């Protein structure tokens, strides 16, 4: 029997494992890992299938390439069908990974929820509904229930809370979907802090999104470039500034929006002035910057895959999110790693940038009780 198949079959029977302690990669400090393994820590990629087989590409991505994270969906080759099925998927994913694996999902509550009641998961409440009640204690209880569901089903990262302001209730991707707590930045801070507290208590990594603010947009960056130059307000930075000042160091997700008041040339995801100049240097963020999905049209229609990947890293992104829907490619991970390796050879990416991003990603994992040498 092929050794990978043997390993997978063994992993499927495990109830608990600390793979980073049992496999050879962790015998060396991370800065001595081969370049490809460091690059792979900067990738969080989607895959198809609700179960694992030994010949699945994701098994190769974990065992050979040592992928840093995966994102799960309830559509397009869905990964989520029921609680029992999801636990049977996440357990071997974690067991197969030689390094601590980020397993993330969008579970904001309300309409943006990948774990749906139709599939046997608890009902959830939207951020807008919680904001209208304006009781942070109740928000924390709601967030705790979501975090418990994620933890019970083997997930460790939530792409929430949204800290965009509800500046335009008709915004097609924020306001209309009830994803914002409020138009008042201070109210957003109170409720976002409650969500972060609840998630941290359950061991779930949080994600503030979408920096530097998507709430004032009139269009959807999933389908087009969104320009907020004339609608954006500096008030949209208040949730980030106050939460960072309070010690927040998990994830902040970028927005694929253009704001010429910050950078006249690039959307935020590809903008050094936005991510490094504003978020890192001015606001003092010390955690991990994650891109929104780099296959969204706002990026993919105007940049080649290499331009998007290299541009995001050079701008200050640490973790590259690739949903792998548009189109699906079973070889997405090795192809992405090849692009990044060549960019280093060509001088378009600096090794110091890769090492800094890798250090942040691994420090985040270590803070959540996943020891990394």
Nearest to 243 by CA among 289, 205, 197, 276: 197
The values of phi and psi at residue 192, to 5°, are -65, -40
Task: Check which CATH number belongs to the domain holding 188 and give it.
Answer: 3.20.20.300
In this prediction the pTM is: 0.92
Q: What is the residue-wise DSSP string for 318-352?
A: SBEEE---TT--TTHHHHHHHHHHHHHHHTSS-HH
Q: Which residues, 6+ apart, have CB-to-CB distance to 3 below 8 Å?
A: none
- pLDDT bin (cut points 50, 70, 90) of residue 17 is very low
User: Residue 2 above 70 pLDDT?
Assistant: no
Inter-residue contact 320 to 43 (CB < 8 Å) = yes
Cα–Cα dist 273/67, whole Å: 29
Catalytic residue from among 144, 263, 292, 318: 292
Lowest-confidence pick of 33-47, 178-192, 212-226: 212-226
pLDDT one-digit tens code per residue, 51-67: 999 999 999 999 999 99
Please check whether residue 179 lies inside any domain of the structure.
yes
Inter-residue contact 166 to 139 (CB < 8 Å) = no
The mean pLDDT value for 129-154 works out to 99
Distance linking the first and last C-alpha atoms of the chain: 32
Burial group, residue 291, by CB count within 10 angstroms (0-12, 13-18, 19+): buried
* 292 part of the active site: yes
Question: Which pLDDT score is estimated for 75?
Answer: 86
- pLDDT bin (cut points 50, 70, 90) of residue 29 is confident
pLDDT one-digit tens code per residue, 326-363: 899 999 999 999 999 999 999 999 999 999 999 999 99
* 329 part of the active site: no
Cα–Cα dist 219/156, whole Å: 31
Range of the domain at 250: 3-367
Question: Which pLDDT score is estimated for 5?
Answer: 45
The values of phi and psi at residue 97, to 5°, are -75, 125
Cα–Cα dist 326/322, whole Å: 9
| Counted domains in the chain | 1
Please check whether residue 58 lies inside any domain of the structure.
yes
Question: Which pLDDT score is estimated for 227?
Answer: 93
Catalytic residue from among 56, 222, 227, 329: 222
Question: Which pLDDT score is estimated for 10?
Answer: 52
- pLDDT bin (cut points 50, 70, 90) of residue 76 is confident
Question: Which pLDDT score is estimated for 296?
Answer: 95
Please check whether residue 300 lies inside any domain of the structure.
yes
Please check whether residue 169 lies inside any domain of the structure.
yes
* 90-107 residues labelled b (16+ CB within 10 A) or e (exposed): bbbbbbbbbbbbbbbbbb
Please check whether residue 373 lies inside any domain of the structure.
no
What is the chain's mean pLDDT, rounded? Answer: 92
Lowest-confidence pick of 14-28, 29-43, 313-327: 14-28
Q: Which residues, 6+ apart, have CB-to-CB distance to 127 below 8 Å?
A: 108, 109, 110, 161, 162, 178, 179, 180, 181, 191
């Amino acid at each position: 029997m092929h050794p990978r198949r043997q390993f997978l079959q063994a992993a499927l029977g495990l109830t608990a494992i600390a793979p980073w302690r049992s496999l050879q990669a962790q015998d060396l400090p991370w800065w001595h890992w081969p370049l490809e393994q460091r690059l792979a820590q900067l990738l969080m990629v989607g895959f198809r299938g609700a179960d694992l087989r030994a010949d699945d590409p994701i098994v190769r991505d974990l065992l050979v390439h040592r992928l840093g994270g995966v994102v799960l969906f309830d559509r397009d080759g869905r990964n989520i069908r029921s609680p029992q099925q999801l636990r049977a998927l996440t357990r071997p994913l974690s067991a197969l990974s030689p390094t601590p694996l980020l397993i993330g999902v969008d579970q904001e509550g309300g309409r943006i929820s990948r774990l749906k009641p139709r599939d046997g998961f608890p009902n959830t409440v939207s951020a807008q509904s919680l904001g209208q009640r304006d009781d942070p204690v109740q928000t924390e209880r709601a967030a705790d229930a979501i975090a418990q569901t994620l933890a019970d089903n083997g997930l460790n990262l939530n792409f929430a809370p949204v800290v965009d302001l509800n500046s335009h209730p008709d915004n097609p991707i924020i306001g209309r979907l009830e994803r914002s707590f409020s138009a008042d930045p201070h109210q957003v801070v109170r409720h976002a802090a409650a969500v972060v507290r609840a998630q941290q208590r359950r061991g779930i990594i949080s994600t503030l999104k979408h920096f530097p603010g998507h709430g004032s947009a009139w269009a959807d960056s999933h389908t087009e470039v969104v320009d907020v130059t004339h609608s954006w307000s500096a008030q949209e930075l208040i949730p980030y500034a106050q939460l960072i000042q309070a010690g927040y160091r998990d994830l902040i997700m970028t927005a694929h929006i253009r704001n010429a008041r910050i950078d006249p040339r690039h959307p935020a995801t590809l903008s050094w002035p936005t991510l490094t100049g504003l978020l890192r240097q001015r606001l003092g963020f010390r955690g991990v910057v994650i891109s929104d999905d780099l296959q969204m049209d706002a990026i993919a229609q105007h940049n080649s895959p290499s331009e998007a990947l290299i541009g995001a890293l050079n701008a200050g992104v640490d973790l590259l999110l690739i949903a792998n829907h548009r189109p699906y490619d079973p070889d997405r991970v090795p192809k992405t790693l090849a692009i990044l390796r060549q960019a280093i050879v060509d001088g378009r990416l600096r090794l110091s940038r890769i090492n800094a991003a890798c250090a942040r990603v691994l420090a985040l994992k270590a803070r959540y009780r996943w020891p990394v040498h």
